[in-house]
Amino acid sequence: MLDGPSDDLDLAGRINFDRPQSARVWNALLMGKDNFEADRRAVEEIVKVDPGMPHYARQCRAFLVRTVRFLAAEAGIRQFLDIGTGLPTAQNTHEVAQAVAPESTIVYVDNDPLVLLHARALLTNTTPEGLSTYVEADVREPETIIAAARNVLDFTRPIAVMLLGILGHATDDYPTMRRILDRLMGPVPSGSYLVLLDGARTEDKVYLDAIVRCAEVGHPYHLRTPRQLEACFQDLELVEPGLVPVNRWRPDPPGSDIDPPCNAYGGVGLKP
Ligand SMILES: C[S@@+](CC[C@H](N)C(=O)[O-])C[C@H]1O[C@@H](n2cnc3c(N)ncnc32)[C@H](O)[C@@H]1O
């Protein structure tokens, strides 16, 4: 976990200004201010191909809010392991969870130095009863994440493991993706949940062309088919409505999902 100003200097020195970075591109798509010229140029190119991309990003954030609210309010979850946190924005995981249950504990995980710099300032701003903290780790090293999380979370009580828009960055290899999920979900107890959101290989040619453009501008994302994403829940009980375009997951208010189906798919699964 982070500690002291020397960490800040070290982190600042590791920021790559020349190439687009996932967290900053995501921030630019969400109209945030924590991004650089390289990220904005990448977004410009991607949006030229598919002008719907910023809208998908907002739909993904709305999915995060609805799933965390469901977990805190309806499923009684009080511990969250949010891997691939992104740069702080409105309604971060701890804010949504602690608005329902102030005692909630959140461990954020990311490997981007700018995310880590912002994390100390913003994400650790928590309720007096709760806790939110930060781990620098790569999702491709699940054991490191679990070991760090054990310092904060109680692994005898249910935990929501959240992977939203990260695994398409982390690996192009589907079996590797499945192994990462198994190694993260293996140590958490019965009653825990997986929240997964990923770009899906749909039939939408404009979107698929934009994903090709992403790779061309140095920001590759590896899509899985909806069937492959659904199979990630095979040892879990998928919560209704299952794995669906994210704007179709329990829209709030019900019936407000009038937009076409989003190309990002998401779901929530209970570990029996
Ligand atoms: C598209 S953003 C999604 C942010 C947030 N989960 C959300 O849904 O708004 C992906 C995040 O995953 C992080 N990330 C990408 N690859 C990673 C890796 N191998 N290990 C840890 N974090 C990673 C990026 O730094 C970025 O913050």
Ligand 1, atom 14, residue with closest C-alpha: 84
DSSP 8-state secondary structure symbol assigned to residue 54: H
d(CA 162, CA 85): 9
Handedness of CA 188, 194, 195, 196 (dihedral sign): positive
Distances (CA, A) of 160 to 26, 43, 84, 126: 23, 31, 14, 18
pTM for this prediction:
0.95
Counting the structural domains of the chain, the total is: 1
What pLDDT, on a 0 to 100 scale, did the predictor assign at position 118? Answer: 87
110 lines ligand 1 (CB under 6 A): yes
Contacts by 96-99, CB closer than 8 A, 24 or more apart: 96/64, 96/65, 96/68, 96/69, 96/72, 97/68, 97/71, 97/72, 97/130, 98/126, 98/127, 98/130, 98/132
- From the CB of 60, is ligand 1 less than 6 Å away? yes
Q: Which domain holds residue 206?
A: 5-16+53-270
Does residue 29 lie within any of the structural domains?
no
Residue 153 falls inside a structural domain: yes
Residue 157 domain-assigned (yes or no): yes
Chain segment 150-168, per-residue pLDDT in tens: 999 999 999 999 999 999 9
> Minimal CA–CA distance to 119: which of 131, 132, 129?
132
State the CATH number of the domain containing residue 105: 3.40.50.150
State how far the Cα of 218 lies from the Cα of 202, in Å rounded to an integer. 22
Pocket of ligand 1 contains residue 134 by CB under 6 Å: no
| Ligand 1 centroid distance, CA of 32 (Å) | 16
Residue 46 inside a domain? The answer is no
Enumerate residue ranges in the chain where pLDDT < 70.
Answer: 1-6, 121-125
